[in-house]
Amino acid sequence: METHNTRRQFLAQIGAAAAGAALSGTHRLHAAVGEPPAASARVIIARDEALAHGSVDEHRDLLRRLLDASMQKLTGAADAAGAWRRYFKPSDRIGIKVNTLGLSTQPAVVDAIAAGLMQAGVPAENIIIWDRLDVELEQAGFKLNRSAQGVKCYGTDSETIGSGYQPQVETNGRIGSCFSRIVAEQVDVLISVPVLKDHNLAGVSLGMKGFYGAIHNPNKYHDHNCDPYVVDVVSHRFIAPRWRLTVCDATRAQCHGGPPKSPGYAWPFGGLVVGTDFVAVDAVAADLLETERKARGLKSLAEEKRSPIHIATAGARGLGVADLAGIERVAV
Amino acid sequence: MDNLENLFERPTRRDVLQWTIACGAAGALCPILADGAFAQDVAGPGALPGPKLKGLARHDAMFWEALEGNRVKCVLCPRECEVADVERGYCGVRENRGGKYQTLVYGALCSANIDPIEKKPLFHYLPGTSAFSIATAGCNIECKFCQNWQISQFRPEQVESVLMEPERLITFCQARHAPTIAYTYSEPVISYEYVHDTAALARQQGIGSVMISNGYIQEKPLRELCRRLTAVKVDLKAFTEKFYEETCAGKLKPVLATLETLKDVGIWFELVILLIPTLNDSPDEIKQMSDWVVQHLGPDVPMHFTRFHPTYRINNLPSTPVSTLEHARQIALDAGVHYVYAGNVPMHPGENTYCHNCKKELIRRTGFRVEQNRIREGKCPDCAAAIPGVWSAEQSLAFKPREMSATELPHDPSR
């Protein structure tokens, strides 16, 4: 698929990229890793009909193959290991942020990511699967592991009450929050694994909104469709510069009634949405939700006065590409 | 049986050090450290000994409406949060579980101390007595200058708490001969159900209840609560919507409505205004506020202008000059407010109470300590003028709010 930019769009993107680099250092970080992403606004939509049937857990091998293929498409690498190495190196300490509220990230999807990271030589011990609470991780099917061996898995609130957050308040834009020690101190690379789902206030609960799980006071930032608060959270130095990959779990999706589970609005999309431009991934995923809403005869998010305006705000701040016209969608 | 037995130990070395530093910053010697001379509420989540509450203290919430799709609308405070299933309101302590709204802090005490009532500050309410002071986590606004943000701006599962049901709290309070329970430090409005139940029980047992609040509450729950309380202190953060919006994530208008309701109910209440350099300390604003108080609440509602020290998200401004407090006090006195105080400045003459009629000193204070109280049966001993306030436990417990007629009752969206 080819995209043609006007001169104005081109200049706007340059300006946005410069602003984004100044804000978050994202682009500088990619360069520091070794190689820049092949296409920062390329988003992979990987689907397999088989994934839509049975339990997701039955399809672990399929998910690995699908994810590896997505990474190859994303990078243009000849093999899966090479694709993973494009973004990750053995010394990385990687935090995999999952979503365990309501319709949750499938553990099988996270297993596929961990397997990919290990192909790049990242030791299992360098990987932490995390969200806010131990109890929510367990309810979502994750096995807690705080030991020194294997992939770790625990919530911010897993140790002594309250100790999981940094003691000082970090201010960024309109937010003032204490960040999870996991994201602030224990990792230097982030992978987000949101679920393709609706949110009653923000419009969608995808990669960016998911990082409300990294701060101690998300309840303070629900006004105005969570905008610009979501962007203030993810543009913080603990998040954007470290956020290297988004794998949106769309094996099971929900187009309305989120974030709690609403079975009547859930459907087996049977796929993954993958990209390194976290704004672009959210933009494409939000569009998939809107498409499903339309197909079901539901009002658009805009008509419901809960447009995911934080995506556009993130684009305007240069954190990534929010305009669908500027995003290359690649099907796997 | 009690895991709060150790709560009332003498201050630790760290506490003393903190207070000493605070006193130094204030430019004043502080001879009464053990009583805590500053309005610096240092009771933090780590201060509680004994077994900690595991999980959340759930209890059915009051004042909410069911919406479609298992959503609920909270009508306790002016925010009127619409909350989806498994989500919480802005306060972080009220949660929708399957279409039913719950409080998560029913009896979950994250701070507890026996304080002088002057620390609240309530200067016209049983002066010289103590108040068993408790808090639960959370707040329904976010003041960037909050001195207790480690409990007010956290969710209940993020702070250490002990469970204390109303009955146990009353027993505990009786054993320590505290005539008053103060719901304070964080925001009692959002632990409404616990305050509601405990205050009712306390009153039956001869113990008063005072609420130290931001006043961010709707009229109906406020009137209901006033049937159980014996006094209220409201922080009037400023007199502009701009300040409330930008510095507190709230609105001024509902707070003014609360003050008018308190006046109508007839309960004793006092106002505290923390003056922050450049943000809310302009003479014009203080004049407008004072005029409004006199016009809408009357001259007998005490105003406490207190001193700000940098904290939480406002660390780039200096402490309030004492001269600013003195100027504000004079503006309010000139506007006709009878009782105006300067707070957080120990041993300042503005801490004392003077008869509004003859101007003689009635109560002399040093910090939170009452050195002398000359008021007799609610009157000035020199000119016999009645001094507004609550001067005896009997008077406190005899309070009955003015009830509204059916036509006066506020709209109740839950019915």
DSSP B159-199: S--EE--HHHHHHHHHHTT-SEEEE-SS-GGGGHHHHHHHH
- Of all residues in chain A, the percent with pLDDT exceeding 90 is 81
Which residues, other chains included, contact B123 with Cβ-Cβ below 8 Å and sequence gap of 6+? B270, B302, B304, B339, B341, B353, B363, B365, B389
Domains of chain B: 5-51+106-398 (3.20.20.70), 59-103 (no CATH)
For the stretch B50-63, pLDDT in tens is 567 888 899 999 99
How far is CA A255 from its chain centroid? 17
Domains of chain A: 7-331 (3.40.50.11440)
pLDDT at B414: 46
Highest mean pLDDT among A54-58, A210-214, B46-50: A210-214
**Candidates B84, B142, B144; nearest CB to A200:** B84
Question: Per-residue pLDDT for A254 more than 50?
Answer: yes
**A161 and B160 in contact by Cβ < 8 A?**
yes
**Candidates A162, A219, A260; nearest CB to B92:** A219
Chain A to chain B Cβ contacts (< 8 Å): 64
Question: Per-residue pLDDT for A75 more than 90?
Answer: yes
How far is CA A316 from its chain centroid? 19
**Residue A181: closest CA among A95, A89, A88, A91:** A95
Mean pLDDT of A277-284: 97
pLDDT at B413: 47
Report the distance separating Cα B341 and Cα A109, nearest Å: 63
pLDDT at B9: 39
Name the residue with tokens 């300042």.
B348
pLDDT at B403: 79
CB B354 within 8 A of CB B123: no
CB B7 within 8 A of CB B48: yes
CB A62 within 8 A of CB A284: no
Confidence of residue B408 (pLDDT cuts 50, 70, 90): low
**A-chain residues near B159 (CB < 8 A):** 161-162
pLDDT at B50: 52
* Average pLDDT over all residues of chain B: 88
Confidence of residue B391 (pLDDT cuts 50, 70, 90): very high
Measure in Å the smallest separation between the Cα of A35 and chain B Cα atoms. 39
Confidence of residue B14 (pLDDT cuts 50, 70, 90): very low
**B155 and A216 in contact by Cβ < 8 A?**
yes
Confidence of residue B73 (pLDDT cuts 50, 70, 90): very high
For the stretch A5-16, pLDDT in tens is 444 443 443 443
Mean pLDDT of A313-332: 95
For the stretch B174-230, pLDDT in tens is 988 999 999 999 999 999 999 999 999 999 999 999 999 999 999 999 999 999 999
Mean pLDDT of A202-219: 96
* Average pLDDT over all residues of chain A: 88
Q: String of b and e for B400-411 (b: at least 16 CB within 10 Å)?
A: ebeeeeeeeeee
Measure in Å the smallest separation between the Cα of B314 and chain A Cα atoms. 11
